[in-house]
Amino acid sequence: GENVEQHPSTLSVQEGDSAVIKCTYSDSASNYFPWYKQELGKGPQLIIDIRSNVGEKKDQRIAVTLNKTAKHFSLHITETQPEDSAVYFCAANTGNQFYFGTGTSLTVIP
Amino acid sequence: DAMVIQNPRYQVTQFGKPVTLSCSQTLNHNVMYWYQQKSSQAPKLLFHYYDKDFNNEADTPDNFQSRRPNTSFCFLDIRSPGLGDAAMYLCATSTLVRDTQYFGPGTRLTVL
């Protein structure tokens, strides 16, 4: 089955700085990679996703890059704000389900 | 707004007392999922329905059952909750099995 590794597990940045979270996956057949943001006590919310026919996708302050050869993808958040503080999960599809990374707890320090 | 709704948001039950969690969706998606999420962990898939076809994960305990009476509703039944079943239970939907999943707000289950 798929193995999705996510790093780092915790990340603290100053407000206004950038944050980068990285994930690797093992199944070369995976072709869809979403990122979810989960605030305390809430369900995960999709923030951005990328498909394997694209190398990079951007949505305002959030971007995702994908390297299919190396089997890794990254989330980039620029100009971080305190409301970006949350747990972020990457995921990769394989077979009939998604495999989630172990999560990154991001803290943005005002 | 189209959405995934879970009720109740918080559920307290006693050890061994059956409990049912519900999920409804207005997205008209074919697939509905149930995940278990324990503190500081990733969501763990329990099972999913593609329309009326039920797909159980190999390591989902028999204690967990599910029903999907129609497209909009899906239920999670825990027949005899143990202390280890205390967790957040997340419902999600998608158009296709390998496509984008949209999550509900979750139900926090406490077992006394």
Contact state of A46 with B108 under an 8 Å Cβ cutoff: no
Q: Considering CB atoms only, which of B6, B42, B105 is closest to A102? A: B42
Is B68 within 8 Å of chain A by CB? no
Would you place residue B2 in the very low, low, confident or very high pLDDT band (cuts 50, 70, 90)? low
Whole-angstrom distance, CA of residue A81 vs CA of residue A14: 9
Give me the percent of chain B exceeding a pLDDT of 90.
87
Q: What does the pLDDT look like over B69-108, one tens digit per residue?
A: 999 999 999 999 999 999 999 999 999 887 899 999 999 9
Q: How close, in Å, is residue B17 to chain A by CA atoms?
A: 24
Interface test with A, best of B50, B53, B97, B101 (most A CBs within 10 A): B101
Q: Considering CB atoms only, which of A32, A97, A101 is closest to B45? A: A97
Tell me, what amino acid is at B80? Answer: S
Tell me, what amino acid is at A99? Answer: Y
Q: What does the pLDDT look like over A1-55, one tens digit per residue?
A: 678 999 999 999 999 999 999 999 999 989 999 999 999 989 999 999 999 888 9
Tell me, what amino acid is at A35? Answer: W
Q: With b meaning 16 or more CB within 10 Å and e meaning fewer, what string describes B17-54? A: eebebbbbbebebbbbbbbbbeeeebbbbbbbbeeeee
In this structure, how many other beta carbons lie within 10 angstroms of the beta carbon of residue A70?
8
